[in-house]
Every structure is written in C-alpha cells, then in structure tokens.
Structure 1
Amino acid sequence: MIIGGTSRPVYLAVGATDLRKSIDSLAALVHSTFHLDPCSAALFVFCNRERNKLKILEWADHGFWLHYFRLERGHLAWPMTATTSPQAITLRQLQWLLDGLSLEQPAAYQALRHRHVL
C-alpha cells in the first residue's frame, strides 16, 4: 500500500457504493452524507455491491488521490448494513480488510502505547 502513517483516521462507507463515482462525487458524498471534511488527513474507503472492489479517497496537500483495489477472487469482509454515518476503523483494520480478514481479529495483539521508557 502506498498510504503511509500509523495514526490517520479511516472511515468506511458502510454498505455498497456505486464505484462509477470518481473523486468529485466521492468527496461530495463525504461532505454531504457523512458531514466530514474530505480535505482532512483521513482516508475514506468505499466498496461496491459485489464486495470485490474498493476505492480510497485521500487528500494530499494540493489534491486528491483515488486509490483503486480489485480483488481477483473472493469477497472482502465488508460491513454491508448501510448507514448514513461512516464506520471509523484503524489503518491496521483496513489492512486486515485488504488481506481478506474481518475487522474483528480477536487473536491479534493489542497495540501498546507506553508513556515512559524504562
């Protein structure tokens, strides 16, 4: 993945999105439906009805990136209950989705954040 960083917000557009939409339409969807700023540091992830394609909208200082992912076999473990609010996930959970796993990985180690170095 070319998306860097470890603490960026990620928002899933739960349910199916018409992936014929391009940058302007997806940015308008983020603004009008989710009431979020598409020009923020967040990643906005959209999936098609067949759950085999994703688009990720990303703002990069002077313009948008639109990442496109097509799964050759199988389906993504995408939450399909459509809502008008996005589901916030971590970059780690996004990587799980792209790897064919569900958002909930009970066996995964929890991230540790230490305040002091011993």
Structure 2
Amino acid sequence: MQSFIEPSAVFIHRDFVDFRKSINGLAAIVEDELNRDAYTGELFVFCNKAKDKLKILYWDKTGFALWYKRLEKQKFKWPSNIDCNEFELTDEQFKWLLSGFDVLGHQELHYQSMI
C-alpha cells in the first residue's frame, strides 16, 4: 500500500465489522475494543463479513484517513481463528494480506551464512 505516512505498526481487528461504519465508528472500535490510541499513526485494518472488502484507518497528524479496498472475484484470507481481538502484522504480512495471501500461513524468510 502506498501511503503518505510510515506507520509504526499495522493491526488487524479480528472480528468482522459492519461496513456502514466510517471513520468515527472505526476509531471507536480502535479505542473501545482494542484499547489503543487511534491518534498514533498506526494502521488499523478491518474486514467485512463477506471477506471481500477491507477498510484501513489511520491518523496522519492532520486528520483521519480511511482507505478502502474491494476484491472483485476473490476473498481476503482473514485470520479469524486467532485468539485475541487484534493481531499485529509485519510490513510483509500486510502486503500479503492486501495481495490476497494468508498472513498466518506464510513465514518471513530468514537466511544465515553456512560459513
């Protein structure tokens, strides 16, 4: 995702969200359900029940921004089987999610020298 900020963290909200909610409703979920400060610049990702739409909320130091993505034929691989209300994504996992990959099924690659 190209954004105008470099987020300090990316969090997904595990439970599905009514997509009639906009900035105020999603910011309330961030603060009430996730117990996080919505004004930090962190990205908060929400998914609808059909798993074909995402909303991403963040504070850009002048106001809230809301990013929306809809898939035409596929569904997002939403990690709804995690035990906590939120899940922090790495930058790579966030890119995987936006590309339609399962973020829990992938592992970051780590290489080490054989010497």
- TM-score, normalised via structure 2 length: 0.85
The answer as to 2:17 corresponding to 1:53 is: no
* Counterpart position of 2:40: 40
Report the AA paired with residue 106 of structure 2: Q
The answer to whether the 8 Å contact 1:10/1:89 transfers is yes
Change (3 A) 1:69 1:88: same
Q: d(CA) in 1 for partners of 2:46 and 2:111?
A: 26
Structure 1: 5+ residue stretches without partners: 113-118
Unaligned runs of 5+ residues in structure 2 are none
How far apart are 1:2 and its partner, in Å? 2.2
**1:83 positional shift:** 6.1
Distance 2:91 2:34 in 1: 19
CA–CA distance in structure 2, aligned partners of residues 64 and 24 of structure 1:
9
- Scaled by the length of structure 1, the TM-score of the pair is 0.83
Q: What's the Cα RMSD here? A: 2.1
* 1:87 match: secondary structure: strand
